[in-house]
Structure 1
Amino acid sequence: GMTGDGVNDAPALRQAEVGIAVSNATDIAKQASSVVLTEEGFEGILDMVVIGRMVYQRITSWTINKIIRTFKRVVFIVLAFILTGQFVVSTFNMILLLFLSDYVTLSISTDKVRPSPVPEKWNSNALVKLGVLYASLIVAESLGALYIGMNWFALGGDLPRLQTFVFVWLTLSGYYTVLSIRERRHFWDSRPSKWLALALVINSAIVYAISTMGLPGLPPITPAMYLFILAYGFVTCLLVNDFVKVPLAKDLNVSL
């Protein structure tokens, strides 16, 4: 990076990875820069670094969550079809699932994060490995939820209600995953932002309402089934997986 204020600094500011124009720089220097300080002194550079590292953490959380979500859904649906011979998620359920997940995913951009004390380097291989390994756990837990739904709750002969059961599981397990992945330490070490927490609470309430009351193409399940999924997801996706995530992230050198 480079700082400058004059016309003669403009070429270097443009070529630098991060060109920084001070507050009293000429218009040409400001136009050539990547960053313009709005106050005198260089304290703004520190703020820029901190904010940049916070943005990096949010992007990392979004990327890992995206990998997990995609891998989990595709692999689980394929395995469930192979094992049962049925599509355990209907087209309408999948559309609704994507719609309800997007608001929570967007809220990650507002989440509270800890900037790294050292410069960070993008390591896509480590992120993919972490995402795939973490998602593999959820796939196994999803198959367990499917087995319970088909046998304990006797939904094996009622495909439409089984699809609702699986829809609720995929949705709530995704919310638990966001709470776990957003914090590279244990999930209880920091609180989510109010907007992320609000999105999770509202969406969970919406899922409860539509799954117990039903919609066209989405027959209702009992509140007991919903509460079971809520508890099962808390134990597996939040508690069990979280204790696997922490050492796994350290081994793969994913920033903590």
Structure 2
Amino acid sequence: MLALADALREDASALIKTIQSLGIKILMVTGDTVDTAKAISHQVGLGDRFGDATRGLATPLQFDGFANFYPEEKFRLVQSLQRAGRIVGMTGDGVNDAPALKQAEVGIAVQAASDVAKAAAQVVLTHPGLEGVASVVSGGRRVFRRMLTWTITKIARTVELAALLTFGYIATGFFVTPLVLIAVIVVLNDVVTITLATDRSWVSSSPERWNVREIARLGGVLAIGWLILAFVILWFALTRLQLPVPQVQALMFAYLMYSAQATIYLSRTPGRCWSLLPGKFVAAATIGNVVLATVLAAGGFLMAPVSLVLLVAMLGLVLLIALLLDQVKIWLFSKNREEELRQC
């Protein structure tokens, strides 16, 4: 008697655990018999609850895998999971896997896949094994986090600038920041925005979705916090320090630059703003903007000169308020997570 078996990769079990640690449920789908599927599943650390086309397609999430599946049944399984509200990733190598690979949100063709499977997939692995799958997921979540940072920052800065110019003009009768300085703010902040593509980013341990309400709420809270401080500084400069209007405008220019850089760090992670160090380009751009804004305001370039002591004091106040807003941000993220868990 000659026994034949497909040899498993030595790293298969560890890679499956890595993928599961990212909050992904793994289902084995094979055309082999149930006994063969259970034997392989046991070796890689998956469960032994296997369904078939007769009783598995209606409730696919109750099983750990499926055996005796034909190509059209793999396709219907993907559709069933999608109807259940799941984002589906599918790996395959053969021509018969092509329909399911095409239907899945993320079709992944393995290294030795047929040309048809590669053409149907959205991702083609260039190395053997499943390590590429974990890299794809982690990379996607890093991109998502960078996009989220940009979105929250954009909302906060836009609301802050628009409200400060509007209500500041109504309250004082002059633009708290002249148009030429607004142009400088936009250009310098765009430099930081470009560097966000290279930033270190936090990878979530569970799948993420766009939560417009959470994003708008956090961006709005940050904007309101900075606006309150802006009007306090504006009031203090006009009534207590009795600065002339050009100096007040220069002071508010520096304030808008300082708060914009702080907003970047507040929106990068749901935890403490210092828990994840920024990328070197983001750090260089934000620190450079703070230094440049201080030099411009203190030196009187394009604006009236402002006392360096006053600028440093205002920068310290911005950092203090940033710590307070960071605590509010953490509370908002934890509250949103609790709401998501209750809905599950």
- Whether these two folds match at TM > 0.5 is yes
Pick the aligned partner of 1:25 from 101, 113, 117. 113
Match of 2:176 in 1: 88
Structure 1 CA distance, aligned partners of 2:201 and 2:121? 27
Contact in 1 for aligned 2:202/2:276 (Cα 8 Å): no
Distance 1:43 1:129 in 2: 37
Q: Tell me by how many angstroms 1:9 deviates.
A: 3.1
Give the conservation status (yes or no) of the 8 Å contact 2:106–2:122. yes
Amino acid at match of 1:30: K
Does residue 163 of the first structure (1) align with residue 268 of the second (2)? no
Question: Structure 2 unaligned runs (5+)?
Answer: 1-88
Q: Among 307, 311, 317, which residue is 1:232 paired with?
A: 317
| Counterpart secondary structure, 1:150 | helix
Q: Which of 186, 203, 221 is the aligned partner of 1:98?
A: 186
Do residues 34 (structure 1) and 122 (structure 2) align? Answer: yes
Which AA in structure 2 matches 1:239?
L
Q: Which has the higher helix share?
A: 1
CA contact (8 A) 1:107 1:195 kept: yes
Larger relative contact order (Cα-Cα within 8 Å, sequence gap ≥ 6): 1
Extract unaligned runs of 5+ from structure 1.
none
The structure 2 residue matched to 1:134, chosen from 222, 241, 244, is: 222
1:79 partner SS: helix
Normalising by the residue count of structure 2, what TM-score does the alignment of the two structures yield? Answer: 0.69
Tell me which residue corresponds to 1:48. Answer: 136
Alpha-carbon separation, structure 2, partners of 1:144 and 1:186: 26
Give the aligned partner of residue 273 of structure 2: 187
1:175 and 2:270 are equivalent in the alignment: no
CA distance in 1, matches of 2:119, 2:296: 52
Which whole-Å CA distance do the structure 1 matches of 2:222 and 2:293 have between them? 24
Residue 55 of structure 1: CA displacement? Answer: 1.5
Provide the rounded CA distance (Å) in 1 between the counterparts of 2:175 and 2:331: 35
Q: Does the CA-based 8 Å contact 1:126-1:253 persist in structure 2?
A: no
What's the CA shift string for 1:184-232, capped at 9, x where partnerless?
Answer: 112222211221111111121211221122234x222121221122111
Map 1:54-93 → 2, pairs under 5 A = 54-93=142-181
With normalisation by structure 1, the TM-score equals: 0.91
Residues 49 and 22 of structure 1: is their aligned pair in 2 closer, same or farther, counting only changes over 3 Å?
A: same
Equivalent in the alignment of 2:297:
211
The equivalent of 2:26 in structure 1 is none
For the 8 Å contact 2:298–2:306, the answer to whether it is kept is: yes
Query: Cα RMSD over matched residues?
Result: 1.8
Higher mean alpha-carbon deviation, 90-99 vs 180-189, is at 180-189
Q: Count how many residue pairs are aligned between Structure 1 and Structure 2.
A: 251
Counterpart of 1:220 in 2: which secondary structure?
coil
Q: Percent identity?
A: 35
Q: Does residue 194 of structure 2 align to residue 110 of structure 1?
A: no
Where do 4+ consecutive residues of structure 1 move more than 4 Å?
none
Over residues 112-161 of structure 1, what are the superposed CA-to-partner deviations in whole Å (9 max), with x where a residue is unaligned?
A: 22211111122111111121122111111111111122233322xx2222
- Higher gyration radius (CA): 2
